[in-house]
């Protein structure tokens, strides 16, 4: 199957429940992806990792799947290919692809988490004030911070080591004028954000794939 991605920034989503978990297909994936899938303890986590592999192959092409490497900080990249960031949570796996460095995060905003406690450990005072008691705002800030860390490769910065400032449907990292954060609310019950250089023109919605 021909790769879906062309040169423009793109976002692809895959409903994990639409994927048939196929042990034989795992064998056709790159060894590190296959090993990662099989090493996961819980079936739901194996399904998410499996779906992520299928999403990468559909969007970037099978050849690119075998050219994925990792920097010393763990951030994946494609040798000779575009930048990408993949995230999965709940029923969704999502992939952001761009010629520029990028990071994407999606989170299921389910009940049962003490968001106020998490915020006290992970947010800066300005972010805690912005989130207040609003769980939706908490997850918007959380995904913004995670997407920025993924763009950087996480290290040496910690999630509490910088401040996200929200500006309507966009956001930025305080002190980092060159980075812009975009939010997506396409899926009910989920928060999602992408970080990339300012001016990157992302589509308004993710392209949801099926039958892969």
Residue 209: the pLDDT is: 94
Q: What is the pLDDT of residues 118-166, one digit of tens each?
A: 999 999 999 999 999 899 999 999 999 999 999 998 766 789 999 999 9
Strand partners, 181: 171, 195
CA 150 vs CA 4, 94, 144, 170, 196: distances in Å: 23, 14, 10, 17, 10
Query: What residue spans define the domains of the chain?
Result: 10-209
pLDDT along the chain (212 residues), means of 10: 85 94 92 94 93 94 90 87 94 95 94 88 95 93 96 81 89 92 95 96 94 82
What φ, ψ does residue 62 adopt, rounded to 5°? -65, -35
Q: Is 10-209 in CATH node 3.90.470.20?
A: yes
- Count of alpha carbons within 13 Å of 188, Cβ hemisphere only? 0
Categorise residue 123: left if φ over 0, alpha if ψ from -120 to 50, beta otherwise: beta
Q: Of 5, 4, 14, 8, nearest to 203 (Cα)? A: 8
Strand-by-strand arrangement of the 10-15 sheet: 83-89, 92-98, 10-15, 207-209
pTM value is 0.93
Give start and end residues of each alpha helix (H) in 3-124. Answer: 23-26, 31-39, 43-60, 62-65, 115-122
Are 190 and 90 a contacting pair, CB within 8 Å? Answer: yes
Rounded Cα distance between 100 and 197, Å, is: 7
Report cis status (omega within 30 of 0) of the bond before 156: yes
Strands 103-108 and 190-197, how do they pair? antiparallel
- Under DSSP, is residue 205 helix (H, G, I), strand (E, B) or coil? coil
Rounded Cα distance between 118 and 8, Å, is: 36
Residue 134: the pLDDT is: 92
Lookup: tokens for 17: 């429940």
CA 78 vs CA 18, 34, 137: distances in Å: 27, 17, 33
Residue 199: the pLDDT is: 93
């Amino acid at each position: 199957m021909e790769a879906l991605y062309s040169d423009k920034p793109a976002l692809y989503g895959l409903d994990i429940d639409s994927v048939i978990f196929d042990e034989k297909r795992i064998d056709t994936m790159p060894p590190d992806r296959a090993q990662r899938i099989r090493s996961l303890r819980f079936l739901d986590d194996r399904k998410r990792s499996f779906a992520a592999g299928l999403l990468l192959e559909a969007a970037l092409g099978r050849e690119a799947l075998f050219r994925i490497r990792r920097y010393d900080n763990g951030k994946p990249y494609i040798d000779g290919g575009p930048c990408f960031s993949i995230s999965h949570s709940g029923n969704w796996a999502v992939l952001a692809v761009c010629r520029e460095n990028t990071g994407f995060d999606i989170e299921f905003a389910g009940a049962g988490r003490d968001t106020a406690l998490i915020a006290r450990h992970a947010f800066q005072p300005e972010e805690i004030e912005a989130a207040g008691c609003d769980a939706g705002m908490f997850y918007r800030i959380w995904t913004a911070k995670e997407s920025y860390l993924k763009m950087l490769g996480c290290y040496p910065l910690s999630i509490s080591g910088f401040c996200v400032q929200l500006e309507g449907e966009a956001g930025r990292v305080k002190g980092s004028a060159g980075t812009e954060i975009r939010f997506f609310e396409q899926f009910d019950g989920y928060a999602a954000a992408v970080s990339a250089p300012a001016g990157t023109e992302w589509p308004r919605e993710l392209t949801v794939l099926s039958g892969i």
